[in-house]
Structure 1
């Protein structure tokens, strides 16, 4: 496996627990955020006014959402994406778009890099003036791992062919965006203990800036994980020397089975404990609204929201909505 990974590598083209938290080592304001799907999911399609009212009410300064691109590196819903970016700018909220690449199937590694690099330039030139931080390809660690219950801590957990294809595309896109807009930073997500993925990013020279941890209650305590890991945040900081954000966080499966009170208790007790480590530079709850229409296809992902609809179509606040709001107010 290691020899195979080495061959794959050779063909890659080489080209504070207090108010007023600050992002670690940068002096930048702490990033308080939430996830949503204003361009891609029905639960977010016709309620933009409410979304922006909620972002303001929660006193958040960043909105993380998915964006699908065409083969030229332009948003498939270009007009709507531009409208969203303009509205976020007017509202003083930073966008954190999570880009899904396309148009790379059937290409060899050289062509993947060249195509994604061109896409990155196009994307950066078109939208870069709105962006300070962005992401490409959500949870790639899960996509390139072999199926089964794997820890993600060793080379044998990862498919070398998928790794080469996907990471080469990410590398090209990031390089292209940064060529067009040098100030833009990239965060890439990693879930649970899939830390060998971060080593693969180093090996493939993917030029990202921020580690975006995805952590849910079923994974355990991120500040005091089982041996040999201990404090995951400290371990990642020492090993990879990059700022860390938590870009997805919530009680596992939301309120699919748990009560509103249980979800709220987890969010309001775990976040202060994490902040006390004085390591992370931002945190994003997943997510703003429940998505009842995806329940059939993704039964455990439909109820993560801080808000839900009742049988009359009225928006109801779960306990975690006010809980997160109070945490933000206390520590912002």
Structure 2
């Protein structure tokens, strides 16, 4: 018996048994297959994701009409071992819809998609809706004081840096999405968050108002957000960075600058995975969108897009950032 115990201890110490270990870090990419990318097929997108080594594709869903195409994309991605992260952005108008309408429309939208796609494990709910609520110059704070007229928009760091009448509308959207998804898909995880840029106070208000979420979402376009991760980690939920890239992509300092900046961000995020429970990070975005030039969206991609002789957009060359990201993904595979 004693010899068996010694043997068992040795096996455990030296790894002869498979280790339980932590979950593999999830690398993903953003794309717009339903609202942009004219001329680019599902195969164009999935094949580039597979070559990169990405395991998830974040796609925005803003209409019930996207349902059939989402079903097709999920099937195509699944064949290559790639998951889809649907980002639900319900067709509502924050400026004109009432709180009641925002809640009911958002809840119905979430219920439809949650019921139609029961296999989805994670849903991202809403996209940067806190921006609508940021306190503007001359507006009144909740404590009755006026936000200085000579200042720019508030930073969103504190819970009091949001204009409550607009915050309540943003919150109505997220409450509707969260409660709707829980009602029809109780085992899936709900990811909710902000645009980054210091907007941590919004999480405090959501928690105070008992709006439920399972994953804290953050967006990052400058590598200086560790302080924010400390705050997000205090809520006891895993963090997903569902948008990040070198600031302005390749517009500001060319392909080489984008590649270097993206590599640094990827390595940094992966290095924070245990400290702040960062589970996933999604590069923004898969393809350049040259039809938006000179807007920075034309330069954010990992892969170029060019016009064919017939005038149609088609896949161009992979940018230096693609190779940089590919190398990091390979080197960080567990």
TM-score bucket (shorter structure): 0.7 to 0.9
Shift of 1:101: 1.1
1:188 to 174, 192, 201: 192
Equivalent pair of 1:104/1:116 in contact (CA under 8 Å): no
CA distance in structure 1 between the partners assigned to 2:158 and 2:231 by the alignment: 16
Shift of 1:110: 4.2
1:42 to 14, 37, 61: 37
CA distance in structure 2 between the partners assigned to 1:198 and 1:241 by the alignment: 12
The residue that corresponds to 2:180 in the other structure is 176
The residue that corresponds to 2:228 in the other structure is 232
DSSP 3-state at the match of 2:65:
coil
State the Cα RMSD in Å: 2.2
1:302 to 274, 298, 315: 298
The residue that corresponds to 1:121 in the other structure is 111
The residue that corresponds to 1:288 in the other structure is 286
Equivalent pair of 2:245/2:265 in contact (CA under 8 Å): no
Equivalent pair of 2:34/2:66 in contact (CA under 8 Å): yes
DSSP 3-state at the match of 1:176:
helix
Aligned CA distance change for structure 1 residues 146 and 90 (closer, same or farther; 3 Å): same
The residue that corresponds to 2:328 in the other structure is 327
Structure 2 unpaired stretches of 5+:
1-20, 137-151, 309-313
CA distance in structure 1 between the partners assigned to 2:105 and 2:62 by the alignment: 16
The residue that corresponds to 1:96 in the other structure is 85
Equivalent pair of 1:89/1:130 in contact (CA under 8 Å): no
Shift of 1:81: 1.9
CA distance in structure 1 between the partners assigned to 2:37 and 2:46 by the alignment: 16
Equivalent pair of 2:200/2:231 in contact (CA under 8 Å): no
Alignment of 1:1-332 (within 5 A): 27-43=22-38, 45-69=39-63, 75-103=64-92, 108-127=98-117, 129-147=118-136, 148-190=152-194, 191-217=196-222, 220-223=223-226, 231-237=227-233, 239-277=234-272, 278=274, 279=276, 280-295=278-293, 299-310=295-306, 315-332=316-333
CA distance in structure 1 between the partners assigned to 2:208 and 2:284 by the alignment: 30
CA distance in structure 1 between the partners assigned to 2:258 and 2:324 by the alignment: 9
Shift of 1:39: 0.7
Aligned CA distance change for structure 1 residues 264 and 107 (closer, same or farther; 3 Å): closer
DSSP 3-state at the match of 1:240:
coil
Structure whose CA Rg is larger: 2
DSSP 3-state at the match of 2:298:
coil
TM-score of the aligned structures, taking structure 2 as reference length = 0.79
Equivalent pair of 2:29/2:56 in contact (CA under 8 Å): yes
Shift of 1:174: 1.5
Shift of 1:198: 0.6
Which structure is higher in RCO with an 8 Å CA cutoff and minimum separation 6? 1
CA distance in structure 1 between the partners assigned to 2:74 and 2:45 by the alignment: 14
Structure 1 unpaired stretches of 5+:
1-25, 70-74, 224-230
Aligned length, in residue pairs: 288
Shift of 1:315: 1.0
CA distance in structure 2 between the partners assigned to 1:167 and 1:271 by the alignment: 31
The residue that corresponds to 1:21 in the other structure is none
